[in-house]
A and B are shown apart, each in its own frame.
Chain A
Amino acid sequence: MRHAIAATLAIAGLVAAAPARAEQLITTLTNHRVLITSNYTGVELVLFGAIEHEAADPLRHGPYDIVATITAPREALRTRRKSRVLGIWVNTAARTFVDPPSYLAVLASAPLDVITNADNRRRLQLGIAGTPLPELINNDIGEVSNDPFRAALVQLMEKRGLYSEKPNAVTFLTPTLFRASIELPAQVPIGDYEVDVKLFTEGAMIAQTNSGFEIEKFGFEQFVVDTARNHGLLYGLATALMALVTGWIASVVFRRD
């Protein structure tokens, strides 16, 4: 529901801005499909974008600001907190986050609070702070404000390189041409990623594009994961057989009698 409202507002904003400004945003990625093979150690994608406006437009153009948000498939997470029980550290409290993105990168051309005001940031769900991370509370789903578990989740994800907010990651090559590099560390989750690029000028969003890319395991890696998930017993038997063969080969190779 929140998403729907936000989208409606975003479209409304776009429509409202349209008559005054005729900027058009065009973006592209260097790659739309990242394959994880056995030598995968992370990858860097580059986002390119151009801002076009009609030559006859009498209005002053720019300066422009860009906020690009990259999100990965959502998956439920449990954040656990340890506390001391009888002298040892035990997980004693936990919260379930229903659908946080498993990867979230916010790349901007300036600090978000410089680009636009707090109201807009909340409405457009800009930045990590603006991203809703609903929790499961007694079979109910809701947002908890100032929640230490939410802060811990964000902090842990940042530590793993999965969440990031970089206020200077988008660079303008010319006043209307920009680039940003999207760093995907080795442990990024697989699936469909969404790339949402918003164009701001003087604090107002005037254009937006949506595109995406896909990260998938490929070849052998894909085969192993599929088999392990869907044919667990068969996979187990095959692994056990592999152990047998390795053990047998070793006993033949190193035979000492």
Chain B
Amino acid sequence: MEIYLPIADIPVNVFLVLAMGLAVGFVSGMFGVGGGFLMTPLLIFIGVQPAVAVASVTTHVAASSFSGAIAYWRRKAIDVTLVLTLLAGGIVGSIGGVALFTLLRALDQLDLMIGLSYVTLLTIVGVLMVGESARAIIRSRQGKPVELRRPGSHAWFHGLPLKVRFKRSKIYVSAIPVVAIGFIIGFLGAMMGIGGGFLLVPMLIYLLRVPTATVIGTSMVLTFLTMVSATVLHAATNHLVDAVLALILMIGGVTGAQFGAHAGARIRGEWLRLLLGLLVLAVGLRFAFDLVLRPDDLYSIRVLGRGP
């Protein structure tokens, strides 16, 4: 069944898009991430303009992270103070990201920057995740206990002023690195159409030493809030959010996430991280090939708009 997307201006097969939503939702439920880093490339692959894909996926991620956040809220696994501090940076970051997105579009370099950001970010994060989880798997094979937090190790930013006590997470750190992390996530999220969960969770765990009990819930709420603000900003400035596309994606996404969560619960943490790391790395390499290989057509067209 074909349906015509009003903003993307192309007809798509509803079942194909639903299936993509389900598949990405499954992955996102399994690993506790938003799945934007998979959805945006998939949409570009089926012919949606990169700009529309990025803007519409923000809406999709908003929905899936909201349903996740509600579940964690019921379990009281969300650190509200931490969310609000991260959000302060996140909103400023979103505004910056949307502004840069608009500027790059005008300079004909948006597609390149989306590609480059994906390659850099996904390759680095993928390599780090694969390395970390592989070490954890080897350690557990040798019978040593898996250590996630190394108590007593303090990074330079632990000496910064404006210390805040985040009660539920049981941490006492400066607000400055927290706001900075929020800014980075908001900025990349708006620019690349990703929720940033796969970046935020490791940052919270390894940099801020947030315990695993509150990390996923907190990340979900922040993802949800930054993605909602990115949706509104993209709609208001670039008019690129396709509500019909977003609705089909989110219906598939929230359903798939439920099955993914079941599957994820049966796999051990370090194996889950290894799988996610490999997936992230694969998407990153896919983008790298696109940038390095000679494109089929050196020319491309961008519509500037109706003349007088």
Contact = CB atoms under 8 A, between A and B. Distances in A.
A225 B11 contact: no
Contacts of B258: 250, 254
B304 A75 contact: yes
A14 B73 CA distance: 78
Interface in A216-249: 217, 220-221, 224-225, 228-229, 232-233, 235-240, 242-244, 246-249
A38 interface: yes
Interface string B176-190: 000000000000000
Contacts of B7: 224-225, 228
A80 B250 contact: no
A239 B66 CA distance: 14
B231 A81 contact: no
A202 B156 CA distance: 88
A9 interface: no
A123 interface: no
B232 interface: yes
A37 interface: yes
A134 B170 CA distance: 66
A179 to B, nearest CB: 27
Chain B contact residues, majority secondary structure: helix
B286 interface: no
Interface stretch (B88-96, B198-206, B236-244): B236-244
B246 A242 contact: yes
B291 interface: yes
A43 to B, nearest CB: 12
A112 B287 CA distance: 44
A247 B298 contact: no
Contact of B243 (A84, A88, A239): A239
Interface string B281-308: 0000000000111110111111111110
Given A87-B292, A232-B237, A76 B304 contact: yes
B11 to A, nearest CB: 5
Interface in B145-185: none
B247 interface: yes
A231 to B, nearest CB: 9
Interface string A129-148: 00000000000000000000
Given A243-B63, A250-B67, A81 B299 contact: yes
B63 A80 contact: no
Interface residues of A, number: 63
A240 B58 CA distance: 10
Contacts of B294: 84, 89
B64 A242 contact: no
Given A246-B250, A247-B65, A187 B10 contact: yes
A41 B241 contact: no
B66 A248 contact: yes
B67 A247 contact: yes
A239 B305 contact: no
Interface string A21-59: 000000000000000111111100000000000000000
Chain B CB within 10 Å, residue with most, of A155, A217, A220, A251: A251
Interface in B1-23: 1-4, 6-7, 9-11
B268 interface: no
B301 A79 contact: yes
Contacts of A243: 59-60, 62-63, 66, 227-228, 231, 246, 250
B292 A225 contact: no
Given A236-B235, A239-B231, A247-B66, A82 B10 contact: no
Contact of A236 (B69, B233, B255, B303): B233
Interface stretch (A62-70, A92-100, A164-172, A206-214): A92-100
A250 B304 contact: no
A108 to B, nearest CB: 26
B70 A246 contact: no
B36 to A, nearest CB: 13
Contacts of A38: 3-4, 244
Nearest to B251: A246
Contacts of B127: none
24 contacts: A38-B3, A38-B4, A39-B2, A39-B3, A73-B306, A75-B306, A76-B303, A82-B295, A82-B299, A83-B298, A91-B300, A186-B11, A217-B6, A220-B6, A224-B6, A224-B7, A228-B6, A232-B239, A239-B231, A239-B241, A240-B228, A243-B228, A244-B66, A247-B66
What 6 A-B pairs are tightest by C-beta distance, nearest first? A236-B235, A247-B66, A250-B254, A152-B299, A236-B232, A243-B63
Interface of A: 36-42, 73-84, 87-91, 94, 96, 98-99, 102, 149, 152-153, 155-157, 186-187, 217, 220-221, 224-225, 228-229, 232-233, 235-240, 242-244, 246-251, 254, 257
